[in-house]
Amino acid sequence: MEISAYKPYGDPEFESLIERIHPPRVCIDNDSCRDCTIVKVDSANKHGILLEMVQVLTDLDLVISKSYICSDGGWLMDVFHVTDQLGNKITDESLIHYIEEAICASRRGSREVQTCVDRNVRARHVSMEHMAMEMTGIDRPGLMSEISAVLAELGCHVSAAVAWTHNKRAACIVYVEDELKHGPIQDPYRVAQVQAQLENVVEAHHYDGERRSVRLAAPAASQTHTERRLHQLMAADRDYEQCCSCDYESSADDEVYRQKKGCNGTEVKVENCRQKGYSIVTVRSVDRPKLLFDTICTLTDLQYVVFHASISSFESIAIQEYYVRHKNGWTLDSESERRRLTQNLMAATERRVSHGLRLDVSTQNRVGLLSDVTRVFRENGLSISRAEIGIQGEKAVGTFYVKDASGQAVNPETLETVRREIGGTVLVVNKSLGKSTSQPTSSSNTSPSVSTSHSSSKQDKPGFSLGSLLWSQVEWLSSNFRPIKS
């Protein structure tokens, strides 16, 4: 007879009472550590709260260099070592106040901070007013150009978009609004028309029965964070199936580790600690921004609970160790379950890795802009491997990672043609030399609107990111917060 795991009943009213008696506490300490700010959170625990806290920090483009997590016994005590993109401590009082309020609000399920953030900032991450077009399918040159051209032709204005590619698969989320009404598309006939046209574009280069999907999601207050949703879309598309893993010794030479074949720089090890009743999941990879967020996303969406964890980085290598159980209380006992988790974690660490030349674009926002920019790439034989596009005031800003359609580096003549045809300001980052050059094109007087970035992985980071849009609003937001009630 099969015995199911015991799961005690939890009265929601009792849980609410516990939170009122012991509200979450956030301490931001700039004194204990010489080179980073320490964020400490002490609170009652719930499934998914770790991801929400990490999301608050990564949405602000903060670098998490170390973290210690403990959430046994229904209570959590988590510590994060963070810096800004330049490696400096967080000293801005308005930003500190925002972090405290945002973490507490996410823990309590409060809307008092969320209301301000949704209206002014968070729309770049989760649009509460605009319809979302979600697509998955085969990665091929020109796909994003064709999608954005159809949207422009149908009178859909793109307010933000994010696209990832991994293992020859592609996923993108495009937020659109009605070009004339400057609001959500509400006519059911028009929604069906847009859906049908987009399906034709995606289906055109697929074989019968091959995986693909196109979905239009209406605006909703409960929409998932954009980057988490991208992880979910790519996992549902099974992009992880080509990922493999290699066992490793913790004392292995880092250079040997980076040169191992078939692992794409990431290794995952899963073993059981029977004495304590946990499964121990160790992820070793090249460090980069938002790595912790991507890993926690995967564990949370696969219904694993993190009880203890230690995350650290040394030079360009990150080591994450998690003590987990499935939400039903069981450890990872079957080989198939361990393999599935391994593949998913490897995919999560690889999806955001950038391939190709980085182009940061800043130009005047206009209807059809994304269609025009991606058309220039397509006509010049360039393929987009990753992209983030959004709006800052009257400007449209975006980061594109591009390669020659054959997968080779972009030649200088093509690059100059692209810069000239796009208009506005295009900042080109030479990854191999670690240098960047910017050049206004046409008659524009626009100056580069690109943030300097830094990470412990020494990789370049997009000058525009969804989280960077938060920075300009933090001071304004802080004046709208009410004090935490204790």
Of 10-24, 110-124, 327-341, highest mean pLDDT: 327-341
Q: What percent of the chain has pLDDT over 70?
A: 74
- Per-residue pLDDT, 46: 83
CA–chain centroid gap for 274, Å, is 34
pTM of this structure = 0.80
On the question of pLDDT at 18 being above 60, the answer is no
- pLDDT at residue 465, rounded to an integer: 54
More confident residue, 171 or 459: 171
Q: Which fold has domain 21-106?
A: Alpha-Beta Plaits (3.30.70)
> pLDDT tens digit string along 217-270?
887 767 789 999 999 999 999 999 988 755 444 444 444 444 333 355 799 999
First vs last C-alpha separation in the chain? 49
**Residue 70 CB-half CA count within 13 A:** 6
Q: Quote the CA–CA distance of 450 and 454 in Å, as a whole number.
A: 13
Which residues of the chain are in CATH 3.30.70.260 domains? 21-106, 267-351, 357-429
The pLDDT of residue 482 is 38
pLDDT tens-digit map of 155-175: 898 989 999 999 999 999 999
In terms of C-beta distances under 8 Å and separation of at least 24 residues, what long-range contacts does 84-88 make, across chains too?
85/61, 85/451, 85/452, 85/453, 85/454, 85/455, 85/461, 86/452, 86/454, 87/35, 87/63, 87/454
**Per-residue pLDDT for 344 more than 60?**
yes
For residue 64, pLDDT beyond 60: yes
**For the domain with range 267-351, which CATH number is right: 3.90.950.10, 3.30.70.260, 3.50.50.60, 3.90.1300.10?**
3.30.70.260
Percent of the chain predicted with pLDDT > 90:
48
- Average pLDDT of the chain is 79
Mean pLDDT confidence for 29-52: 91
What confidence category does residue 20 fall into, taking pLDDT thresholds of 50, 70 and 90? Answer: low
> Would the CA dihedral through 273, 276, 279, 282 be positive or negative?
negative
Q: Which of 158-167, 175-184, 460-469 has the lowest mean pLDDT?
A: 460-469
Q: Which residue has the higher pLDDT, 125 or 417?
A: 417
Q: What is the pLDDT of residue 329?
A: 87
Looking at residue 9, its pLDDT comes to 52
- How many CB atoms are closer than 10 A to CB 483? 7
Judged against a pLDDT cut of 80, whether residue 216 lies above it is answered with yes
- Please say whether the structural domain 357-429 has been given the CATH code 3.30.70.260: yes
- Tokens 């409960």 belong to residue: 222
- Higher-confidence residue of 455 and 141: namely 141
- The confidence score (pLDDT) of residue 359 equals 93
Number of H helices, E strands in the chain: 14, 17
Q: Are 403 and 423 in contact (CB under 8 A)?
A: no
**63-70 and 382-392 beta bridge pairing:** unpaired
